[in-house]
Structure 1
Amino acid sequence: MSKRITTVSKKQLLNDNMEEAGLAVRMSDLLSNTRLKSDDEELSSKLVSTVKRKMKKLIVKMDMEQLKEFTEEISFGPSKISITEDMSEGKYNDIPKIQLITACANKLKTLDIPHAKELANEYLPMEICYEDKKGREFTGLSLLLAPINAKKHGNLRFLRNVGYESRRVFDLATLLTTVFLDNSLVKFVAANVETIQYLLVKKLLRKQSSMATTDDGNVLYIPSSEDFAKDFLYYVEKYNLSTYENSVKAKWLDSYEKNFYMEDEISYHIDSPVLKDIVISEFIHQYEHVKQKTEKQLESRTDYARSFQTKKQISNKHKTAMTNNAFKSKYSYVELDNEVLFRSDLYDTDLTEEERTSIYTFEDLEDEFKKLSREVFIPYSEGSFRIKRLGNLKAAGVFYPHANATIIDREHPDSFCHELGHQLDYTISESSHSTVSEALEFRPIIEMYSRKVQQTVDDLPAGSDFKELWNGKTKFNASYFLQPTEVFARSYELYLWHKGIRSSFMKSAYSGPEYPNHDEYIARISLYFDNLFARVENSFPTVKERKLRPAASPSVNIREEDLVYEMGEEGQMSLF
């Protein structure tokens, strides 16, 4: 078993995925059921207001001890908050402070001591120590169960009639939101430095484009600083962000050097006008992706996908074929549905020889697989390959990432290369929690795919089936097609097609809107996959070279949540 399953908890899986992306796990509570999008206008203020609204609902359910634990939990970065004094008992020495903070919440009616004690019991006052992300320390007063007027938050206040010294007052939800978001963004940037640098370079290239004149020609402006220019060009060339003939040094780019390297404290640069919009947009983008990824993994989590289970009633003929066939050269275990037809079966019929030669059998599929294996990179898998009926799933093929199982419907062998794309995406990845398609190297392809397909969809006539599907609210809308794993699988199919590969394991054509056949896109994916396979091909042993390991279990149950599948299409050729 390559990976031990320790939990089937949705919460834990979401937390694991968020940690992998550099996101604070508590964010799942504070952004649940929200509609924030990474391309929203005024995203920063929307993020703050959304988290603050959720924070208010969260803390009113806490007592003072739970609040203390919570403040420790969210103080995981440069910003800190702690409860230094619980004044909820209304002790005599605390009365002036209780009167001040409740007055700032518009709750104080009289200055008598019994009233102050009642307010203390009702609204739970406290003294707070707050250290901001710049290291400055402040102490002040707040209430757990009542908001402080926004104009008074963070300011020094005093009561004239009491004559008590001025104290700083805080709205608790606002302060907790500030601490949590400050720390969350610092954590996120620290875990995604290369992505932020990539996005900054893209931003600077857009700025260059807006400044360009016809006299500039095909020129790329680069920083005059030698080290910065070298790293700037690294992103431009590695991710093919610009085609240029000449580069010209421009001093105006040097002003972005500190932001690029995030020298000094990360928190300082996050607040800069240069990076703030980039960081927050990417923060929300990654949260959207993680949420979608987790929902996909946990879809129908109480249902077991029967397609992964080896059927109990398999004929002896099929059992024999399962242990000795062409697919065993690439898969540890093979399962065949009893309906899979063998060449010998044709001679038990009254068919003529001409009729027999017109019917496809498993042996024909083996020949096709041998040919495909010589033409494309198919790494040996310790998982399984299965040919069976997938009618209940309404899918032409499925891939179970966590079980490393590739399954094609017996009526849809042309789904195999799509599922092989998914298989490669998961098995080539060096991380057990993420795919190749989630890496930064693949991101420019996702961005180009999104632009090209969206342009095609926009040009479709109103009411066209794909346009309604793309813009709809069903499972197979734009969000489905733009998932990194789906972009990877479809791009892989196009890559094979434009390399001249033709096979019954591929569709007869790739002309739908979801397959952008633009020259620019094909050139991009061809370069990507050529480089990818050149890098990884030799790291996968052949069946002869591999160490002997136990074969994939033929009877393990897997949840339907773990599958990645290809939609069925009408009119696909059957080999059975």
Structure 2
Amino acid sequence: MIIHEEGRIESLRRENFLKGRLLKKGFKDANDMLLNLKVNVERNESFKDVWKKTIGAIKRNIAKLQIDESFIESISFGRNKITIDNLEIEDDVIVILRDFAKKPVSYNEVSHLLISGGDLPESGYSLLQGTIPPTKHKRKWRLSRGPKNVFYMVLDFPTLAADVFLRNAVWEFAIHNPDHIRRHLIRSIVDARLQNNFCSVLVADDESGIRLLKEMDDLVSGISRKNGSTVAECSVYELVPKEVCSALYGNSDGWDAIDRHESFLLRQFLYRTALVPFLRELKMLQYESDAREESFATHARVWQLKKNIPLKTQEAMKTSVFLEKYSAVEYDADVDLQKIRSIEKEFERFCSTFPVPKSTGSFRVRKLGNYRASGLYFPFHQATCVDIDGASSYGHELLHQIDYTYLPDGRLSETLEFRRVYDLYERSVCLAVNVLPKDDPFRSRWYGKTKYNEDYYLQETEVFARCGELYLHEVMGVRTSLLDESYDNPVYPKDEQLLKAIKEYYEQILPLTIQTDQSEPHESSGATQDVSQERMEAQYPDDLFVVQEEDNQLAFNF
């Protein structure tokens, strides 16, 4: 028999899924450094600190790789590039690098590097297989006994490589995600308004500038009125370069202008605006990949039909009302069939009010105690699971299902249209947590290192599901066993502006036809529980006086 398979599988490596997702989201070079780059961004952390932290994380990844010309080519995929020049190395350079590296240095270990792109020094000397103290990096030095006007630019290669890679990666990400970058810029301005009572921007009087101001006003207007002032009363907060403003509205001329601009300060503004969205999106995609792997490995039994189900329960499964919306239904052997019939009647009434989509997947009532969750959604297996003691988690998992199946390609929670709801939710929930007593257990977990901390609750997918629950319970007024009886905890804020945005958003998307898609599992950690139950710098010794630094040089630092 001759077999013709479609869609060849060239690699069985698990990271290929993450690579594909990264490339699709605008991470142009999804190599090992990016796959393993993990950086936690603290709230209100400065750009300089986040950039430094990210450079450090990339350097740790570089330390695990083989450094050669192939590596240099792999990080030079963007506008900043490194090449090795065959310039003859002078004796003074060897002495300087030997003193900085604190080890013997031979001529064949030293490379003269050329850097293009305009953001970094144009050239310098470095050790590809060694390190230079941070205080010596990107500065010009000379021997105290040598010519007074002959200086050499010294570069620490791991730091330079990390810098070039990060600039290229953030630049490419910004080009492919201008809407998200623009939204982050606007939100940063609004946050400054809340914290410092000013948020106006100075922009060029053109179409892009006017659109930016209007978009900001749409987000900030309600908040400004609540604080007793208007946007017009605010002083200037930020000068947004017209080239950046144009680029963030998809104008190719804007990107070209930034690329060609003689000053790196214009590109620095773009890096400063795009870095946090870049890191957050990377973190979310890594979470998706990890959860997908987990669903295929350790949790396979949850979405597979259990053996030895009693005949009466099997009959109830075959006639279940849930089959009107799902292709398969499974009930645990210990379910009370009378209660199941009651839940099915509630489900029928729920469907008459809320547009539950038809799914080619399964609905399962199982014991989920091992997962410490009252509900789970496995999009890759198209399985919506609720715990035998957690019927009220269904609404949360249904919202995950809608998030992943509404669009033919991608999630609703990652779209620009949802960002307004997300921004308002994040602000509201953070305010709700911050007013809790400092010794409150939930506040401690929110800022802690456990799974159920701030990072978990502010994942786009979790925010989408939680806001959907608020829509059902607070806006529509639905009262059913398929939802929590009440939503009185910090992660379900009832802010008036937020509820208004939730109503507008969900009423816009819910009536439309819903399709089917697949992705990683999501768990409802508190649908039936109280939420409070979850959640080198090596200094060069001064006594040698071997090397002197050139005065008044451009440091090229952020």
TM-score (norm 2): 0.76
Q: 1:155 to 1:524 in 2, by over 3 A?
A: same
Q: Secondary structure at the match of 1:395?
A: coil
Aligned to 1:469: 445
Q: Is the 8 A contact 2:295 2:521 kept in 1?
A: no
Q: How many residues of Structure 1 are paired with residues of Structure 2 in the alignment?
A: 504
Say whether 1:506 aligns with 2:483.
Answer: yes
Q: Tell me which amino acid in the other structure corresponds to 1:283.
A: F
Say whether 1:145 aligns with 2:142.
Answer: no
Q: Is the 8 A contact 2:395 2:469 kept in 1?
A: yes
Q: Is the 8 A contact 1:157 1:167 kept in 2?
A: yes
Q: 1:319 to 1:454 in 2, by over 3 A?
A: same
Aligned to 1:286: 281
The CA deviation at 1:489 is 1.1
The CA deviation at 1:474 is 2.3
Aligned to 2:388: 410
Q: Tell me which amino acid in the other structure corresponds to 1:446.
A: Y
Q: Secondary structure at the match of 2:400?
A: helix
The CA deviation at 1:74 is 0.7
Aligned to 1:37: 42
Q: Secondary structure at the match of 2:510?
A: helix
Q: 1:470 to 1:8 in 2, by over 3 A?
A: farther
* Residues in 2 aligned to 1:159 and 1:539: alpha-carbon distance in whole angstroms: 73
* Residues in 1 aligned to 2:372 and 2:57: alpha-carbon distance in whole angstroms: 41
Aligned to 1:339: 334
* Residues in 1 aligned to 2:202 and 2:154: alpha-carbon distance in whole angstroms: 48
Q: Secondary structure at the match of 1:381?
A: coil
Identity among equivalent pairs (%): 26
Give deviations 1:63-112, integer Å, cap 9, x for gaps: xxx51011110111111112344x9xxxxxx5xx1524312203599xxx
Q: Secondary structure at the match of 1:387?
A: strand
Say whether 1:180 aligns with 2:165.
Answer: yes
* Residues in 2 aligned to 1:133 and 1:467: alpha-carbon distance in whole angstroms: 45
Q: 1:385 to 1:50 in 2, by over 3 A?
A: closer
Give deviations 1:247-284, integer Å, cap 9, x for gaps: 98x9x899743220132344559843654432233333
* Residues in 1 aligned to 2:178 and 2:24: alpha-carbon distance in whole angstroms: 14
Q: Is the 8 A contact 2:374 2:528 kept in 1?
A: yes
Give deviations 1:406-427, integer Å, cap 9, x for gaps: 0112222111111101111111
* Residues in 1 aligned to 2:100 and 2:391: alpha-carbon distance in whole angstroms: 75
Q: Is the 8 A contact 1:132 1:179 kept in 2?
A: no
* Residues in 2 aligned to 1:247 and 1:167: alpha-carbon distance in whole angstroms: 51
Aligned to 1:22: 26
* Residues in 2 aligned to 1:310 and 1:30: alpha-carbon distance in whole angstroms: 34
Say whether 1:459 aligns with 2:444.
Answer: no
* Residues in 2 aligned to 1:77 and 1:38: alpha-carbon distance in whole angstroms: 29
Aligned-CA RMSD value: 4.4
Q: 1:7 to 1:323 in 2, by over 3 A?
A: farther
For residues 106-145 of structure 1, the aligned pairs below 5 Å read: 106-107=98-99, 119-120=106-107, 124-133=109-118, 138=122, 141-145=125-129
The CA deviation at 1:313 is 1.8
The CA deviation at 1:205 is 5.6
Q: Is the 8 A contact 2:364 2:385 kept in 1?
A: yes
The CA deviation at 1:236 is 4.1
Q: Tell me which amino acid in the other structure corresponds to 1:120.
A: Y
For residues 388-403 of structure 1, the aligned pairs below 5 Å read: 388-403=366-381
The CA deviation at 1:200 is 3.2
* Residues in 2 aligned to 1:260 and 1:393: alpha-carbon distance in whole angstroms: 46
For residues 510-521 of structure 1, the aligned pairs below 5 Å read: 510-521=487-498
The CA deviation at 1:125 is 2.2
Q: Is the 8 A contact 2:21 2:285 kept in 1?
A: yes
The CA deviation at 1:160 is 8.2
Give deviations 1:336-371, integer Å, cap 9, x for gaps: 2233344xxxxxxxxxxxxxxxxx433222211111
TM-score (norm 1): 0.73
Aligned to 1:353: none
Q: 2:359 aligns with which of 381, 385, 390?
A: 381
Aligned to 1:438: 414
Q: Secondary structure at the match of 2:68?
A: helix
* Residues in 2 aligned to 1:170 and 1:411: alpha-carbon distance in whole angstroms: 61
Give deviations 1:458-496, integer Å, cap 9, x for gaps: 333454443343333322222222211111111111101
Aligned to 2:221: 242
* Residues in 1 aligned to 2:286 and 2:173: alpha-carbon distance in whole angstroms: 16
Aligned to 1:312: 307
Q: Tell me which amino acid in the other structure corresponds to 2:462.
A: E
Q: Where does the alignment leave 5 or more consecutive residues of structure 2 unmatched?
A: 1-6, 248-253, 531-558
Aligned to 1:547: none
Q: Tell me which amino acid in the other structure corresponds to 2:97.
A: A
Aligned to 1:231: 211
The CA deviation at 1:54 is 4.7
* Residues in 1 aligned to 2:449 and 2:467: alpha-carbon distance in whole angstroms: 24
Q: Where does the alignment leave 5 or more consecutive residues of structure 1 unmatched?
A: 88-93, 110-114, 214-218, 343-359, 542-551, 553-557, 572-576
Q: 1:224 to 1:141 in 2, by over 3 A?
A: closer
Q: Is the 8 A contact 1:38 1:281 kept in 2?
A: no
Q: Is the 8 A contact 1:38 1:282 kept in 2?
A: no
For residues 179-258 of structure 1, the aligned pairs below 5 Å read: 179-203=164-188, 225-228=205-208, 230-232=210-212, 235-236=215-216, 240-243=219-222, 256-258=241-243
* Residues in 2 aligned to 1:196 and 1:131: alpha-carbon distance in whole angstroms: 25
The CA deviation at 1:396 is 1.7
Q: 1:399 to 1:448 in 2, by over 3 A?
A: same
Aligned to 1:545: none
Q: Is the 8 A contact 2:330 2:364 kept in 1?
A: yes
